[in-house]
Amino acid sequence: MVDYTKQVQDTIDQFKGQFPKVTFNKNGYEIRTKVLEIAKDAVWQDYNAQLGQFETSVTKEKDEIVTRVELPQIPGVDQVLEAAEKFYNFVNGNK
């Protein structure tokens, strides 16, 4: 009778060195980094959507023609961190 368990184990041992070792970070650093990346992408995507909807106006004030262009505020670190906190709270099930 053929011992399939030994054949399977031999095959596993043969390919063991070819597969990457998977380790899990206990402090959640990788998860926080990914959430921060997602938040950054979401904030900048929102900014780029707003940038396509900028407002312009041309008025005459006394003898001058004044052109105004209103652009959305460029997001900074605070906006990205606020978004990351919202995403992280969502992942953790917090409100």
Q: Which percentage of the chain shows pLDDT scores above 90?
A: 17
- Say how far apart CA 36 and CA 23 lie, in whole Å: 21
Domains of the chain: which residue ranges? 22-90
pTM: 0.56
**Tens digit of each residue's pLDDT (9 = 90 or more) over 12-54:** 777 777 766 656 555 667 778 888 899 999 999 999 888 888 7
Contact criterion met (CB below 8 Å) for 59 and 66: yes
Reading the block at residue 21, the tokens are 């070792």
26-34, long-range: CB within 8 Å, 24+ apart, which pairs?
Answer: 31/91, 32/88
